[in-house]
Amino acid sequence: MQIRHADPDRDAAACVEIYRPFVIDSAVSFDISVPSVAEFTAKIAQLSQTHAFLVADDGGTVAGYAYSGPYRERAAYRWSAEVSVYVHPVYRGRGVGRRLYDALLALMRAQGMRTAIAGVTQPNPASMALHHSCGFRTVGVFERVGYKAGAWRDVAFLSLDLAPELDPLASPPEPRAEVRLGD
Ligand SMILES: CC(C)(COP(=O)(O)OP(=O)(O)OC[C@H]1O[C@@H](n2cnc3c(N)ncnc32)[C@H](O)[C@@H]1OP(=O)(O)O)[C@@H](O)C(=O)NCCC(=O)NCCS
């Protein structure tokens, strides 16, 4: 199993297939229509330019993916990024999510990101366990912030300090998305 940067053209179709059930059948994703392969190709390309999009590659099969993207648009938020991870059902519970996040979070640190944020529709014990295992702490729950799959949904927000050693008064360097895995 190799964790590598996603190739927009090569990996988008497999990522859409992993993502599809969470759009159609569940409230894990708040999307209500499945993105086309072209839309997902553009999403991978865009996030790769500004943040990071990784896949777990098992001999040419995409076992899962994880990415970071903007948390909020206003400029002072640019050291914070929202992260997300999806693993194909066949590969779940085998450490793939953890490997994806370990690589993603290390890359975000190298890029100069300060805080990783995740929103998890409740309940989702697997996702909560993965995030807590990676050091995230739950900071709160937004109640009834989405209506999906026939019910109002609560979303827990979790955060991870990627650089606790930073001097809180020092000016941070600009985040650098061009830093790649292994640099
Ligand atoms: C959440 C998800 C990404 C976890 O990936 P995974 O590869 O199955 O998880 P891992 O095998 O790497 O396990 C990571 C940790 O979570 C725990 N975990 C995994 N599945 C679990 C489950 N069903 N219930 C409780 N804990 C679970 C593991 O024990 C492990 O904990 P540890 O590090 O303390 O030993 C995966 O279940 C998934 O794709 N779920 C559907 C999509 C989703 O919910 N994505 C997150 C959106 S916020």
Report CA(97)–ligand 1 centroid distance (Å): 6
Q: Give the mean pLDDT of 96-120.
A: 98
pLDDT of residue 183: 74
User: Is residue 85 in contact with ligand 1, taking CB distance under 6 Å?
Assistant: yes
40-88 pLDDT tens trace: 999 999 999 999 999 999 999 999 999 999 999 999 999 999 999 999 9
What tokens were used for 178?
Answer: 């061009």
Residue of minimum CA distance from atom 34 in ligand 1: 133
State whether the beta carbon of 173 lies less than 6 angstroms from ligand 1. Answer: no
How many A from CA of 155 to the centre of ligand 1? 17
Is 136 near ligand 1, meaning CB less than 6 Å away?
Answer: no
Q: What is the mean pLDDT of the chain?
A: 97
What the chain holds in terms of domains, given with CATH numbers, is: 2-161 (3.40.630.30)
Residue 122, ligand 1, Cβ within 6 A: no
Query: Which ligand 1 atom is nearest residue 96's CA?
Result: 7
